[in-house]
Amino acid sequence: MHYEGIIIRPPSEAYSILLQITVGCSHNKCTFCGAYKEKRFRIKDETTILNDLSFAARHFRDQNRVFLLDGDALIMPFGKLAWVLRKIKEHLPWVSRVGIYANTRGIKSKTLEELVTLRQLGLGIIYLGVESGDNVILKNINKGTNAETLIQSGPKIRRAGIKLSVTVLLGIAGEARSLTHARKTGEVLTAMRPNHVGALTLMVLDGTPLGEDFQAGRFKMPPPKELLVELREMLLNTHLCPGLFFSNHASNYLPLRVRLPKDKAHAISLIDSALKGEIALKPETLRAL
C-alpha cells in the first residue's frame, strides 16, 4: 500500500483496510493539531488508488471494512469519491462498510442526495472532529467552523442513513472556560444526534500554536480532577436517545463507556467516586494519543 507521511485512523478502524485517497488535511489550521503539518493537501491520482486496491484484493481478503485517509477525505468532489467507492466494490466485493474522516466544509459541500448516493455505494460511517460546542473556543482553536454549522451537519448525515461518530476534547478550553465549554458541547451534541461520541483529553503537542501558548503560560491545562468535572458537566448536558458516549481513549484519565440515556446516572456516579478519590485515575505515564 502506498502511504505518505504519518497515518492516523480512528481506534474503531484498527482492523480496517486503510486506503489513502487524499494526503493531509484541507483545513490544517487547528491550533492543537500537529498531525498533518508536514503535508500539503492533495487528492491522490487514480493509478495509485487502483494499485492499492489491487494490492488489498490480493492480501486483505479477511478484512471486511475500509477506512479512507487522510484527515478529511470527504472534501473530495462527489464524482471522484463516488468513483473510489465504486472501485472498492469492484476490487473488494466482500467489504461491508467504508468509513471516512470529514469536516463541516466537506459535509456542506455534499447535497443530501449525494450523501445518500455515497451511502448506497458503501459509505457507512463518517467521523467528525467537533472538539467543542463553544463558539469562543472554536474560534480560539481556529477550527474553521461554528456551533451552528456543526448542528446542521449532524442531522444531515443521519438523514442520509450514514452513521455519525464525533470526537470532543476535554481540556481544550483551558481552565478559565472549562465548564462553559463542557455545557455548550453537550448542548451541541444533543442537537447533532450522533451515534457515537468519543471524549478525548487534550495532549498539548510541541510545535503547534497551542503548544507555544502552553509553554508561554498563555494556555493553562486543567488538572485531572477539573477535567473530570468538565467530563461530568458535558455528560450531564448530553441527551442522546439512544447514543454511545465513550471516554475510553488512551488519553483519558477515567475510562467510561456510557449507553445513553440508560447508563448516564451510573456514569455520573463513577465520576463522583473518582472525584472523591475512591477510583484511581490512569497514571500520567500511561496516557497517550
Q: How far apart are CA 236 and CA 230, in angstroms?
A: 10
Residue 250 has pLDDT above 90, yes or no: no
Q: What pLDDT digit, counting tens, does each position of 124-176 carry?
A: 999 999 999 999 999 999 999 999 999 999 999 999 999 999 999 999 999 98
223 contacts: CB under 8 Å, gap ≥ 6:
none
**Taking 90 as the threshold, does the pLDDT of residue 289 lie above it?**
no
Q: Is 3 part of any domain?
A: no
Q: Is residue 6 part of a domain?
A: no
Q: Tally the domains of the chain.
A: 1
pLDDT in tens, 32-84: 998 888 888 999 999 999 999 999 999 999 999 999 999 899 999 999 999 99
Gap between the Cα atoms of 264 and 258, Å rounded: 6
Alpha carbon 227 to its chain's center:
19
**Is there a cis peptide before residue 70, judged by omega within 30 degrees of 0?**
yes
Beta-carbon contacts of 120 under 8 Å, excluding residues fewer than 6 positions away, are none
Assigned domain for 4 exists: no
Average pLDDT, the chain: 95
Q: What is the pTM of this model?
A: 0.94
88: domain CATH number is 3.20.20.70
**Which pLDDT belongs to residue 245?**
96
145: nearest Cα among 48, 247, 72, 40: 72
Does 5 fall in a domain?
Answer: no
Angle at 137 between CA 106 and CA 169, to 5 degrees: 75
pLDDT at res. 190 = 97
* The predicted structure's pLDDT at residue 112: 97
Whether residue 261 has a cis bond before it, omega within 30° of 0: yes
Rounded to an integer, the average pLDDT of 80-100 is 98
The pLDDT score that the predictor gives to residue 77 is: 97
Specify if 25 maps to a domain. yes
The answer to whether the beta carbons of residues 199 and 246 sit under 8 Å apart is yes
Instruction: Give the model's pLDDT for residue 287.
Output: 84
Q: Is residue 2 assigned to a domain?
A: no
Residue 187's alpha-carbon distances to 80, 148, 235, 240, in angstroms, are 35, 11, 10, 10
Question: How large is the angle between the packed helices 112-120 and 147-159, nearest 10 degrees?
Answer: 50
Over 80: is that where the pLDDT of 3 sits? yes
- Residue 249: predicted pLDDT: 86
Q: Decide if 57 is inside a domain.
A: yes
Helical H runs in the chain? 46-59, 78-91, 104-108, 112-120, 135-140, 147-159, 178-192, 209-216, 224-236, 264-275
Which structural domain, as residue segments, surrounds residue 29? 11-286
Half-sphere exposure of 245 (CA within 13 A, CB side): 30
Task: Specify the pLDDT at position 72.
Answer: 92
Handedness of CA 118, 119, 124, 128 (dihedral sign): positive
